């Protein structure tokens, strides 16, 4: 896999965020076309007990919103355009998640900033929904992060189709990494030997793709699997986590918790997800 085209979601308000700068740097690293995309959904009329409190946008309001998106495109292109960088812009008056999921057909990788709290679907894209719907790897960037060296990469391994897909999707990043750490967290001691065999297979797979710097780590669960992963991230100075996403249903993770939800909510470093 190569990253020929990279699509980044651009917020419609405020300063261009750090993840846009990060996406531009990745476009240079992989010699990719960089597509910026932004959307804003007009809010419908607001009615309470039969009384219209807010009539919704007028034709003039819609025209102003379209003009605002066009100006945002100009700001984006001015901020990221470089002598060797190819840049495109796409925008629409619709839910941002819908736009990004649809335009993913044009890209090899999506870059999105971690969800705001409280989440507003009329203004911001839903990272979890994009991971499930886009059929593309999604790089989720923590707030305030402006660059990604990607020199030390952790693969959060679990023997699932999602994790296998994530390893394949991450190959462009793994090729430029200085070290790749394979981690499997075992909740029972008698699982460790089987986990070591699985990681050995993954390391062999990577070596056949000319990635020769993989280290294998089997760790007993210490508190929670997510907490165990975070300790490895700190100990090994990891700056990118690769993970399969939503091996269980998203609703189940939202209700009961899970690694994907924990990473989306609390990871201190960038995460590359595949589903």
- Looking at the fold, whether 134 and 241 belong to one and the same domain comes out as no
Q: What is the 3-state secondary structure (H, E, C) of the chain?
A: CCCCEEEEECCCCCCCCHHHHHHHHHHHHHCCEEEEEEECCCCCCEEECCEEEECCCCHHHHHHHHHHHHHHHHHHHHHHCCCCCCEEEEEECCCHHHHHHHHHHHCCEEEEECCCCCCCCCCCCCHHHHHHHCCCCEEEECCCCCCCCCCEEEEECCCCHHHHHHHHHCHHHHHHCCEEEEEEEECCHHHHHHHHHHHHHHHHHHHCCCCCCEEEEEEECECEHHHHHHHHHHHCCCCEEEEECCCCCHHHHHHHCCHHHHHHHHCCCEEEEEC
- Looking at the fold, whether 120 and 92 belong to one and the same domain comes out as yes
231 contacts: CB under 8 Å, gap ≥ 6: 222
- Looking at the fold, whether 128 and 188 belong to one and the same domain comes out as no
Could you tell me if residue 147 is inside a domain? no
Domain, as residue range, for 38: 5-141
Could you tell me if residue 146 is inside a domain? no
Pairing between β-strand 109-113 and β-strand 5-9 as defined by DSSP bridges: parallel
Residue 48: pLDDT over 60:
no
Could you tell me if residue 191 is inside a domain? yes
CATH code for the domain in which residue 36 is found = 3.40.50.620
- Looking at the fold, whether 83 and 187 belong to one and the same domain comes out as no
- Among 89, 119, 141, which residue terminates a domain? 141
- Looking at the fold, whether 231 and 259 belong to one and the same domain comes out as yes
- Looking at the fold, whether 161 and 135 belong to one and the same domain comes out as no
Looking at the structure of the chain, the number of domains it has is: 2
- Looking at the fold, whether 91 and 180 belong to one and the same domain comes out as no
- Looking at the fold, whether 183 and 98 belong to one and the same domain comes out as no
pLDDT in tens, 124-162: 899 999 999 999 999 999 999 999 999 999 999 999 999
Could you tell me if residue 124 is inside a domain? yes
What's the predicted TM-score (pTM) here?
Answer: 0.92
| Residues 36/88, Cβ–Cβ less than 8 Å | yes
The position carrying tokens 């070290």 is 179
Name the residue with higher pLDDT: 172 or 252: 172
- Looking at the fold, whether 187 and 65 belong to one and the same domain comes out as no
pLDDT in tens, 188-245: 777 899 999 999 999 999 999 999 888 999 999 888 899 999 999 999 999 999 999 9
pLDDT-based confidence at residue 45 (cuts at 50, 70, 90): low
* Closest listed residue to residue 133, CA positions, set 113, 161, 167, 105: 105
Q: What is the largest CA-CA distance in the chain?
A: 67
- Among 120, 141, 162, which residue terminates a domain? 141
Could you tell me if residue 205 is inside a domain? yes
172 contacts: CB under 8 Å, gap ≥ 6: 1, 2, 3, 30
CA dihedral over 166, 182, 146, 226, signed as positive or negative: positive
* Rg of the Cα atoms in the chain: 20
- Looking at the fold, whether 169 and 128 belong to one and the same domain comes out as no
pLDDT for position 185 = 93
């Amino acid at each position: 896999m190569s990253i020929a085209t990279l699509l980044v979601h651009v917020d419609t308000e405020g300063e261009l965020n750090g993840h846009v700068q990060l996406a531009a740097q990745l476009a240079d690293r992989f010699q990719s076309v960089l597509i910026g995309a932004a959307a804003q959904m007009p809010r419908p009329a607001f009615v309470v007990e039969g009384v219209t409190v807010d009539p919704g946008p007028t034709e003039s309001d819609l025209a102003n919103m379209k003009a605002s998106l066009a100006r945002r495109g100009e700001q984006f292109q001015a901020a990221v355009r470089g002598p060797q960088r190819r840049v495109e812009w796409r925008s629409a008056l619709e839910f941002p998640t819908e736009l990004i999921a649809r335009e993913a057909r044009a890209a090899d990788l999506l870059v999105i900033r971690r969800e705001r709290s409280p989440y507003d679907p009329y203004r911001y894209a839903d990272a979890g929904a994009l991971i499930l719907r886009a059929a593309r790897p999604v790089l989720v960037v923590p707030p305030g992060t402006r660059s990604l060296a990607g020199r030390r990469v952790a693969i959060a391994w679990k023997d699932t189709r999602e994790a296998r897909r994530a390893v394949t999707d991450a190959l462009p990043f793994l090729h430029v990494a200085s070290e790749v750490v394979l981690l499997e967290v075992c909740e029972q001691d008698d699982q460790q030997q089987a986990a070591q065999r699985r990681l050995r297979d993954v390391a062999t797979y990577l070596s056949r793709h000319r990635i020769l710097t993989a280290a294998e780590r089997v760790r007993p669960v210490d508190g929670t699997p997510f907490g165990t992963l975070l300790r490895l991230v700190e100990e090994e100075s990891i700056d990118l986590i690769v993970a399969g996403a939503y091996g269980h249903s998203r609703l189940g993770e939202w209700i009961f918790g899970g690694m994907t939800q924990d990473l989306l909510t609390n990871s201190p470093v960038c995460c590359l997800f595949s589903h």
